[in-house]
Every structure is written in C-alpha cells, then in structure tokens.
Amino acid sequence: MIRSSSSLPAVVDSRGAGPTPAFTDHISSAPLDAAAMLKDAHHPGAGAVVLFSGEVRNNNRGRGVAYLEYEAHAALASKMIAQILEEAKAKWQLEIAVGRHRTGRVKIGETAVVVITAAPHRKEAYAANEYIIGRIKHEAPIWKCEYFEDGSHEWGNNCNCGPC
Amino acid sequence: MKIHVYAALKDHFEPEFELQDAGHNTDELKARLQGINADATELLKICRFAVEDGFIDNEFKLSDHDTVIIIPPSSGG
C-alpha cells in the first residue's frame, strides 16, 4: 500500500537561519515578482545564481492565446515542490533553491512560475534549475487551461519538452 | 465518500460531490465513475488519486469517510 507522508520537515536554509516559510508559499494566487525573488536569493557561498521565469506567451501551436488560468491542489502541490527542492539541494549541494507557481488568471507576459537555484558553480546551478522546473511541470498537481483568442479554451496536454 | 476533481475532470463531473457505494479501492472507484460518465474513461485511466494530501495506490483501502482527490496529469509551467 502506498500512501505518501502528509507531514514533511520544514525546508531549512543552508545558512542555518531556520525554517523557510510554509509550504503554501510555493503556490501563489498573487502575481510573482521574479526580480524581488532574485534579490532575496544570494548567498556568500554561491558563485552562481540561476533564475528561470516561465512566462505566458501569446501563441501555442499556431493559435493565438489570450491568457492562461492555472488551477492547483495547493497543499499537495506545495508539499511536492518542497520535496523536489530538498532533493535538488541535496543532489547538487545547492545553497538556495526556490520554486513558486502561480494560480488563477495569468496574462500574456506575466510570470507563471519561478525557479531559482544558487550553487558554488554554474554547472550545478543550471542543472538543478532544469531538474526542478521539469519535475514541477510534470509532477506537481498544477493544471493550465489555455484561453484562446477565438474564445475557446483547452486544459493542459500541451507539454512541449519531449515524451511525457 | 467525498470526491474532489480538478482541471479537465471538471468537464465530466462536478468539482466536489458525494458518492455512495464508491468502491473499496481506486480501481473500483474508477469503474464507478466511468459508469456515471463513460466520456471520462480515458482520462480516469491516467489520473492519480490522493487521500488527505497523500497519494494512494490500488492497495489502499478506501472508506466511506474518505475524501478522495482525483488528479489528472499535471500541466504546470
């Protein structure tokens, strides 16, 4: 029988500053400010900081996109993102790993998801960042609904990053 | 049993509803839901199930008091 744990340890900053905010901080119904998030993601032991900002574009597969709506199971998604970040921190010895995803209506050009990784060297920071965004995209219970300019809409199934 | 569905499943079911005789495991629950709306059959085959914020598999014994979350394939990012 599989039933994954519903209680996880708080994410601890490697600077020893104590637990980071609660899991729900990984899901936001408010706009994401990538620049402000980057400002808080520096560490004296990190020579490389990588920020990925997933932004809403105005077209997909030849169709004009008006906006996106994201839905999530916030508690489960936050918990999963926290787990993914912890795994990445351990695997690449990251000093900082941040992941936050929007819910609700996200306009063209706005940020839907931010991942920040800080490591001693760039190779690890890049690799960890790609790993984190890939797992968030494919595993966290977050769903995209595209609203097209012609008035139609369509749920998910629009992953363009290879076999899923 | 309380059922919560998300995303494309909401095209086939109410977002939240109660179901009597919903089954004792996820396979039985899937069959019950397919019986209610056959159009959801293919989507239900690729969904994950969770109870109390933890994923479950078919070995997990469901009870009438559970709230089951049915999770379609993710499409974040």
Tell me: pLDDT of A152 over 60.
yes
Q: Which of residues 88-117 of A touch B (CB under 8 A)?
A: 101, 112-113
pLDDT band at B52 (very low <50, low <70, confident <90, very high): confident
Distance CA A26, CA A140 (A): 11
DSSP string computed for A74-102: HHHHHHHHHHHHHHHHHHHT-SEEEEEEE
Q: What is the pTM of this model?
A: 0.85
> How many structural domains does chain B have?
1
CA distance B3 to B58: 16
pLDDT band at residue A161 using 50, 70 and 90 as cut-offs: low
Chain B residues near residue A112 by CB distance under 8 angstroms: 76-77
Task: Tell me the shortest Cα–Cα distance from B74 to chain A, in angstroms.
Answer: 5
A75-117 pLDDT, tens digit each: 999 999 999 999 999 999 999 999 999 999 999 999 999 999 9
Dihedral (CA of A133, A134, A139, A145) sign? positive
Which residue carries 């990053």 as its tokens? A161
Instruction: State residue A15's pLDDT score.
Output: 35
CB contact under 8 A, A1 and B6: no
Mean of pLDDT values over A140-145: 97
Residue A14, in any domain of the structure: no
**% pLDDT > 90, chain B:** 94
Number of domains present in the structure of chain A: 1
Please report whether residue B76 resides in a domain.
Answer: no
Give a yes or no: residue B37 inside a domain: yes
Residue B19 lies in a domain: yes
- Concatenating the DSSP letter of every residue in A114-146 gives EEEEEESSHHHHHHHHHHHHHHHHHHSSEEEEE
pLDDT of residue A7 exceeding 60, the answer is: no
CB A109 within 8 Å of CB A33: no
- How high is the pLDDT of residue A54? 98
Q: pLDDT averaged over chain B?
A: 96
Whether the CB-CB separation of A151 and A69 falls below 8 Å is answered with no
Task: Provide the 8-state DSSP code for A34.
Answer: H
Residue A14 is predicted with a pLDDT of: 37
Q: CB-CB: which of B53, B60, B75 is closest to A1? A: B60
* CATH number of the domain residue A82 falls in: 3.90.1170.40
DSSP-based three-state secondary structure for A108:
coil
**Band of the pLDDT at A159, cuts 50, 70, 90?**
low
Nearest CA in chain B to A73: B6
Q: What are phi and psi of B6, to 5 degrees?
A: -135, 165
Are residues B77 and A156, on separate chains, in Cβ contact within 8 Å? no
- Position B77 in a domain: no
Q: pLDDT digit string (tens) for A27-38?
A: 999 999 999 999
* SS3 letters across chain B: CEEEECHHHHHCCCCEEECCCCCCCHHHHHHHHHHHCHHHHHHHHCCEEEECCEEECCCCCCCCCCEEEEECCCCCC
Q: Could A143 and B76 be called an inter-chain contact, meaning their C-beta atoms sit closer than 8 Å?
A: yes
Confidence category of residue A164, pLDDT binned at 50, 70, 90:
very low
Q: How far apart are CA B76 and CA A51, in angstroms?
A: 17
Cβ distance B73 to A140 less than 8 Å, yes or no, reads: no
- Cα–Cα nearest to A144, from A132, A160, A124: A160
Q: Give residue B36's Cα distance to chain centre.
A: 12
**pLDDT for residue B53:** 81
- Percentage of chain A beyond pLDDT 90 is 79
Confidence of residue B40 (pLDDT cuts 50, 70, 90): very high
pLDDT exceeds 90 at position A125 = yes
pLDDT (0 to 100) of residue A130: 98
Measured between beta carbons, which residues in chain B are less than 8 angstroms from residue A84? none
Tell me the CATH number at B52: 3.10.20.30
- Nearest-Cα distance to chain A for B71, in Å, is 7
Q: Which of B59, B69, B75 sits opposite A157 (nearest CB)?
A: B75
Where in the sequence is the domain holding A31, given as residue range(s)?
A: 23-155
For position A24, what pLDDT does the model report? 53
Within-domain flag for B17:
yes
| Average pLDDT of span B63-74 | 96
Query: Would you call A137 and B76 a contact, using CB atoms and an 8 Å cutoff?
Result: yes
Which residues contact residue B22 at a Cβ distance below 8 angstroms, ignoring those fewer than 6 apart? B1, B3, B28, B29, B32, B62, B64, B68
Q: Which residue of B has its CA nearest to A114?
A: B77
Confidence of residue A156 (pLDDT cuts 50, 70, 90): confident
